[in-house]
Amino acid sequence: MDPLMEVINFVVAIFQEPAIFLGLIAFVGLLALKERIEKIISGTLKTALGLLILLAGVIVMVNALMPLGQMASAALKLPPVSVEIGTQTVISELGFEIGLVMVFAFLLNVLVARISKTFKYIFLTGHLIFWNAVIFTAAFKYIMGLEGWALIIAASIFTGAYQIIQPWYTHFFDLEVNENAGFVLGHSSSLVVLVTCLITKPIAKSGRKFKSMEELTFPQALSWLREPMLMIAASYFIIYAVVGALAWDSVVEFASGAGKHPIVWLVLQALNFAAGFAVLIMGVRMLISELIPAFQGIAQKIVPGAVPALDCPLFFPYGQVSMAYGGLIGMVVMVLMSIFFVGIKYPWYIFAPTMSVWFHGATAAVYGNKYAGVPGAILGGVIAGVLMGVGQALMWPIIGFAIGDFFSWASDTDYVWYPLIVYLLALIAGKK
């Protein structure tokens, strides 16, 4: 293999392993601070382990959610996803280009943070650095028709600009929500967060007061619902029971594959989702306690004033009840969007990707609750479902033939809206 490709593959491999990537960031930061060797080793390992614990929780939650999306599709009688190319084929065929786009976009982000007085945010959500490159490279390839170095340069600039600007436009709200904890949002839910905050923050400034979702009260017999983990377990059992009743054949199929009784399987899915959340929160707390102090070495010595832009679950501790309800509301709204587009006989099927819409609705609800209490948290979940559904509907005729299968399990809001900019560029250039 070509030596250059060996280097590119190694760098890409690091970006694709977020725990190693953030562990190295912590290592560099602690070195810059000239910490003692035992502190460097401890901080590096705990940062990596914190993210691995976080991701372990996410994996458990996703595994509990994915069947729910397939059951909802079965209940709505949506057909299997069928595309001409497919996301995995795109990744395979454009692997070299995607790898270079990841590297160049990250370097551009660091360079701008180093020289700019405004854009001081470094996008460090490793797995999304990969997906940013995949989606935007695919957009320039299949919408603009670019190839070779023209594709690499255009996609690198666009992806780098996204990773520079996205944390900047959400930071106005991030540091208020996380009480100036030293990090901002670096996530593909940014448009949901932005829209939610642009609506709810003026409400807060107007002086109107709303009860916080975190202060909800329940009758004594239901007081246990104040515990987010228990509330999540109960809520998602109800959701699973309702959707399962509408798609019982799917429940039987999933339960049979797991070697469980259908009803037992439904209960376990809800409990697994709640358990995954508990693990995720533990990982978040460890990651914050280790990475943020270590990053000060980079902010002081290497990229003065830099602020890390990190994954959305790091904001969950700042509104755990809001998060739980927001994710649930987002899922319900996304299913309603699917029903709506089926009802109007839209030529493409709009899928309800439970994984993405839950995390986007949960994140937006934390922000909405900060500014407008219960109504704001509810609005965050609604906005997540609407933006994801409408964005997916807009993307299908533009690039669905290439990565439409991606929409069925991810469909992140930034990924179904930002490619519209590429489409507009294609129109201006006369390529559409």
Residue 251: φ, ψ to 5°: -60, -45
Q: How many CB atoms lie within 10 A of CB 15?
A: 19
Q: List the one residue out of 116, 211, 202, 213 whose CA is nearest residue 161.
A: 116
Q: What pLDDT does 218 receive?
A: 77
pLDDT digits (tens, 9 = 90+) for 321-344: 999 899 989 988 998 998 899 889
Taking 70 as the threshold, does the pLDDT of residue 75 lie above it?
Answer: yes
Question: What distance in Å separates the CA atoms of residue 160 and residue 109, rounded to the nearest whole number?
Answer: 6
Does residue 400 contact residue 346 with C-beta atoms inside 8 Å?
no
Distance, CA of 61 to CA of 67 (rounded, Å): 11
221 pLDDT band, cuts 50/70/90, is confident
The pLDDT score that the predictor gives to residue 120 is 96
Over 90: is that where the pLDDT of 4 sits?
no
β-pair type (184-185, 307-310): parallel
DSSP secondary structure of 226-262:
GSHHHHHHHHHHHHHHHHHHHTHHHHHHHHHHHTS-H
Q: Looking at the DSSP assignment, which residues form a beta bridge with residue 310?
A: 185
pLDDT digits (tens, 9 = 90+) for 294-320: 999 999 999 999 999 999 999 999 999
DSSP state of 189: T
Number of structural domains in the chain: 1
Question: Which tens digits make up the pLDDT trace of 350-380?
Answer: 776 678 899 999 999 999 999 999 999 999 9
Angstrom distances, CA of residue 209 to CA of 319, 373, 375: 17, 8, 11
DSSP for residue 318: G
Tell me the average pLDDT across 276-287: 92
pLDDT score of 67: 86
Q: Cite the DSSP H helix spans in 116-259.
A: 126-142, 148-177, 190-205, 228-246, 248-258
**Segment 411-429 mean pLDDT:** 94
pLDDT value at position 193?
98
User: CA 384, CA 380: separation in Å to the nearest integer?
Assistant: 6
Domain span at residue 91?
3-428
Question: Each residue of 172-216: pLDDT tens digit?
Answer: 999 999 989 999 999 999 999 999 999 999 988 888 888 999 988
Compute how many other C-beta atoms are within 10 angstroms of the C-beta atom of residue 409.
17
At residue 186, the 3 state secondary structure works out as coil
pLDDT band at 290 (very low <50, low <70, confident <90, very high): very high
Inform me whether the pLDDT recorded for 283 exceeds 80.
yes
pLDDT of residue 77: 72
